[in-house]
Amino acid sequence: MIFNQEIIKPENLVYTKTKVLTDNVMHYCPGCGHGRIHRIVAEVIEEMGIQDKAICIAPVGCSVLAYNYFNVDSLGAAHGRAPALATAIQRLYPDNHVFTYQGDGDLAAIGTAETMHACNRGENIVIIFVNNGIYGMTGGQMAPTTLIGMKTATSPYGRDIHLHGYPLRITELLADLPGTYFITRQSVHTPAAVRKAKKAVEMAFQNQKNKKGTSFIEIVSNCNSGWKMSAPDANKWMEENMFPKYPIGDIKVDGVKVSK
């Protein structure tokens, strides 16, 4: 019989939460990828020893309160404008580590111009782009990345290309811009995927340290609430439906597109 008191004895601890995350209880739905993505970003910041240099730009969307969880100086941006804030701050503080944390609606719909132009200027920032194909916070409306046929609150009969246009693969578009240095697409739905995603985040912040230009990490994630599925089903659905449209893997490394 093992008691709680024994489990939490220092010698029995196998894992501690990084200090770059606060003790605030996250508001994310159970099974959502945001918690894991927050954790790997925070761990990289801690491991690189850049907590005092890191500045987080939070979006509007499910991660609007990201600044309550990242224990770094933070700013909440207007919807879609995070890359504009990041541009200014990184230029004003060139040795800091400014990163944006944005969802698909924020980054690929309302903030398309800011995203494209920050990347095109090769701003020395890190962009974490969480793509779950839906507007989570506002209650499950269609996003630019919503798949064809996918049902949402504003595409109740499924996304129809004649009515809504096509899913936007903004990550591939950004890879065409000379300003982007590192572009990758990852996921966090299995332990192996989490480890790979964390490596990508680390590479992004290393690039930034070496002033290489824009590093952009898309993380294809689930939204079991918005998709109206259990968390395991959502992950399975993501593998079967999201990954074919948004394939996992590096797209551009060291400024060179990866040949497929």
- 72 contacts other proteins (rule: CB under 8 A): yes
DSSP β-ladder status, 73-76 and 54-58: parallel
From the CB of residue 2, how many other CB atoms can be counted at a distance below 10 Å? Answer: 7
For residue 200, state whether it binds other proteins (rule: CB under 8 A). Answer: no
Instruction: Print the binding letters for residues 102-131 with other proteins: x by CB under 8 A, - otherwise.
Output: -----------xx-xx--------------
Burial of 164 (0-12, 13-18, 19+ CB in 10 A): middle
Site for other proteins in 33-52 (CB under 8 A): 51-52
Question: Residue from 53, 169, 196, 252 that binds other proteins (CB under 8 A)?
Answer: 53
Q: Is 92 near other proteins (CB under 8 A)?
A: yes
Q: Is 251 in the site for other proteins (CB under 8 A)?
A: no
| Residue from 63, 74, 187, 221 binding other proteins (CB under 8 A) | 74
The pattern of x and - marking residues 166 through 195 that bind other proteins according to CB under 8 A reads: ------------------------------
Of the candidate spans 58-66, 149-157, 199-207, 210-218, the one that interacts with other proteins by CB under 8 A turns out to be: 58-66
Q: Which residues bind other proteins (CB under 8 A)?
A: 22, 51-55, 57-58, 64-65, 67-68, 70-78, 81, 84-89, 91-93, 96, 113-114, 116-117
